[in-house]
């Protein structure tokens, strides 16, 4: 964070400036109330003919707001879209920027008088992007990180729709502490299909109802300003660790009574082992064994006992069949899932395991006693033989 931009003095001095500003405001408010203006359709609240050429003082939001709080003002952009130019002064004043004395002209550095300089942006999209250039002046860190993100990359390739600062942060009304549910809604403005799925998922649903602090938001899995392409082999191979950050954390999972062995059992399983090896040996190749998301889904993860869950018994076989097309009911039924065998889960495997756990040590102990006594016997025999020789 840098200090707000330095505000240059004006050669004419503040007194004249303020007077000029006042005059500007006065003239504007007169013209704004002229019958011609009032009769104009809302989309065409175009500038008055008798525009005000005086410079607007840099320190004063008042001059800008005198005009920009007039209700329902709009302007037509070159491509025919309508830009809404009315602001809520109170909401601006209580925003992070308004509250920290960041003023209109700190961001709108190119607007010094009315009529404003001709607008270069041709569309709403370009208005948002052009005005977002200024953010980096005060938020260098976020801007530098954002430069590495998939959105910046896509924009560099010509995708105008990819997000810029002002898509995710309302520059005029951004508040310090946003409700958690606002974040997926922000992403959902452009990724609406995904947000729809997320809203109905085990992760998303509680976020919207009670701001659930433990459930992952989009940014917990994708990052904030450093969002990467999630379809690369690297991202996918690391994804089990992403889930495990929460799901292997007993403290975090305690309120939900969810099994926290999900990662260890996954890695111990042939599937996880292969994925782990894959990530080590060939980081650029997509793993072909199932990741957590292949069985559970991604944005549509359901509670495992929901009828819609991809892993509930009734649907599990179909999930396995995505990769094991010839699998039958026994195939998925015989799988241990995330359970370490116990008398409740897979008792047969548990007792066979228990048998081996008891049988092996007993056998080894028995063998050791046998070997030790055998060596002992050999030693005694040798010593007796030596004594016999010595006795002669």
Report 208-247 residues binding ligand HEC (CB under 6 A). 212, 214-216, 218-222, 224-225, 227, 229-231, 236, 239-240, 242-247
How far apart are CB 374 and ligand HEC at their closest, in Å?
42
Q: Which two tokens stand for residue 288?
A: 């072909």
Residue with smaller CB distance to ligand HEC, 44 or 362 = 44
Which of 17, 52, 181, 207 binds ligand HEC (CB under 6 A)? It is: 52
How far apart are CB 230 and ligand HEC at their closest, in Å?
4
d(CA 373, CA 93) in angstroms, rounded, equals 90
Q: List all residues 6 or more positions away from 291 whose beta carbon is below 8 Å from its beta carbon.
A: 236, 237, 239, 240, 275
Site string for ligand HEC, 79-118 (x = CB under 6 A): ----x-x-x----x---xx--x-x-xxxxx--x--xxx--
Partners of 74 in beta bridges:
84
279 binds ligand HEC (CB under 6 A): no
Please calculate the CA angle 108-114-117 and round it to the nearest 5 degrees.
Answer: 60
d(CA 116, CA 136) in angstroms, rounded, equals 23
262 binds ligand HEC (CB under 6 A): yes
278 binds ligand HEC (CB under 6 A): no
CA distances from 311 to 20, 227, 301, 338 (A): 71, 29, 10, 11
Q: Which stretch binds ligand HEC (CB under 6 A): 156-164, 278-286, 356-364, 373-381?
A: 156-164
Residue with smaller CB distance to ligand HEC, 136 or 353 = 136
Which of 20, 198, 207, 278 binds ligand HEC (CB under 6 A)? It is: 198
- The answer to whether 5 and 103 have CB atoms below 8 angstroms apart is no
Q: What is the footprint of ligand HEC within residues 307-336 (CB under 6 A)?
A: 311, 316, 319-320, 322-324, 331-332, 335
How far apart are CB 325 and ligand HEC at their closest, in Å?
10
Residue with smaller CB distance to ligand HEC, 330 or 390 = 330
Site string for ligand HEC, 8-37 (x = CB under 6 A): ----------------x---x---------
A 10 A CB-CB count for 270 gives: 8
176 binds ligand HEC (CB under 6 A): yes
d(CA 338, CA 266) in angstroms, rounded, equals 7
Sign of CA dihedral 78, 82, 87, 92: negative
Q: Cis before residue 203, ω within 30 degrees of 0? A: no
d(CA 203, CA 186) in angstroms, rounded, equals 17
Which of 18, 22, 154, 268 binds ligand HEC (CB under 6 A)? It is: 154
CA distances from 49 to 42, 43, 91, 142 (A): 17, 17, 31, 42
Q: Which stretch binds ligand HEC (CB under 6 A): 36-44, 167-175, 348-356, 362-370?
A: 167-175
126 binds ligand HEC (CB under 6 A): no
Q: Which two tokens stand for residue 33?
A: 């109330």
Residue with smaller CB distance to ligand HEC, 27 or 353 = 27
Q: Which two tokens stand for residue 263?
A: 């990662």
How far apart are CB 219 and ligand HEC at their closest, in Å?
5
């Amino acid at each position: 964070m840098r200090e707000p931009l330095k505000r240059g003095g004006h050669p004419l001095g503040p007194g004249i400036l303020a007077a000029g500003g006042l005059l500007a405001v006065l003239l504007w408010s007169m013209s704004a109330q002229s019958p011609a203006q009032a009769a104009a359709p809302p989309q065409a609240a175009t500038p008055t003919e008798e525009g005000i050429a005086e410079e607007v003082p840099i320190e004063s939001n008042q001059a800008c707001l005198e005009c920009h709080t007039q209700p329902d003002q709009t302007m037509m952009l070159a491509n025919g879209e309508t830009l809404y130019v009315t602001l809520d002064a109170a909401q601006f004043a209580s925003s992070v920027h308004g509250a920290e004395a960041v003023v209109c002209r700190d961001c709108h550095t190119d607007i010094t008088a009315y009529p404003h300089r001709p607008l270069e942006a041709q569309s709403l999209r370009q208005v948002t992007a052009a005005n977002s250039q200024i953010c980096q002046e005060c938020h260098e860190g976020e801007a530098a990180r954002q430069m590495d993100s998939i959105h910046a990359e896509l924009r560099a390739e010509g995708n105008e729709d990819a997000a810029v600062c002002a898509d995710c942060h309302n520059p005029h009304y951004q508040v310090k502490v946003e409700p958690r549910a606002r974040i997926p809604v922000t992403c959902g403005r452009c990724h609406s299909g995904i947000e729809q799925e997320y809203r109905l998922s085990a992760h998303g649903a509680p976020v919207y109802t009670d701001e659930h602090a433990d459930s992952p938001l989009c940014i917990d899995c994708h990052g904030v300003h450093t969002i990467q392409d999630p379809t690369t082999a690297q991202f996918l191979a690391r994804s089990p660790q992403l889930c495990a950050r929460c799901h292997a954390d007993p403290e975090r999972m305690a309120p939900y009574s969810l099994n926290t062995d999900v990662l260890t059992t996954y890695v111990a399983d042939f599937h996880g082992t292969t994925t782990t090896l894959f990530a080590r040996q060939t980081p650029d190749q997509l793993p072909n064994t199932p990741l957590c998301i292949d069985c559970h889904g991604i944005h549509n993860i359901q509670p495992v006992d929901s009828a819609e869950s991809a892993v509930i018994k009734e649907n599990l076989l179909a999930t396995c069949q995505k990769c094991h097309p010839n699998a039958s009911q026994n195939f998925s039924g015989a799988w241990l899932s995330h359970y370490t065998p116990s008398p409740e889960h897979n008792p047969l495997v548990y007792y066979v395991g228990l048998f081996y756990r008891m049988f092996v040590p007993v056998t080894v102990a028995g063998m050791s006693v046998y070997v030790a006594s055998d060596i002992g016997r050999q030693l005694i025999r040798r010593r007796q033989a030596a004594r016999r020789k010595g006795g002669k």
